[in-house]
Amino acid sequence: MSEASISNQRPALAKAADADLHPTTPKLEPINDLTSKAGSATSDVMRAPKKEKLVTIKLDIPKSVRKSLRIEADKRGLSVNQLINAVLRDRTRS
């Protein structure tokens, strides 16, 4: 098999998950710590504490960030919605 056909088969390079994070931003790794504030199961990360009402917000983000979010969420077995909830909850300390 030629080198060209090998490289055609491998998935192309994607932007790194942290490409849009400022270097001083704490790493996203300890997301389980974030989720533990809401509960121990990963699906709890999107659940508001107690019976709080959920609201929908519209957000404009660069395509590249959405791509990073999808990759990061995939890695953690979460939905993008869950990941964003976890990050926002951590950032706003609520």
Residues binding another protein (CB under 8 A): 3, 7, 10, 12-23, 27
Shortest reach from residue 58's CB to another protein, in Å? 26
Q: For residues 88 and 38, what is the distance between their CA atoms, to the nearest angstrom?
A: 13
CB of 20: closest distance to another protein in angstroms? 7
For another protein, give the closer residue by CB, 16 or 61.
16
Distances (CA, A) of 28 to 1, 9, 16, 17, 55: 40, 30, 13, 10, 24
Considering the complex, what minimum distance in angstroms separates the CB of residue 18 from another protein?
5
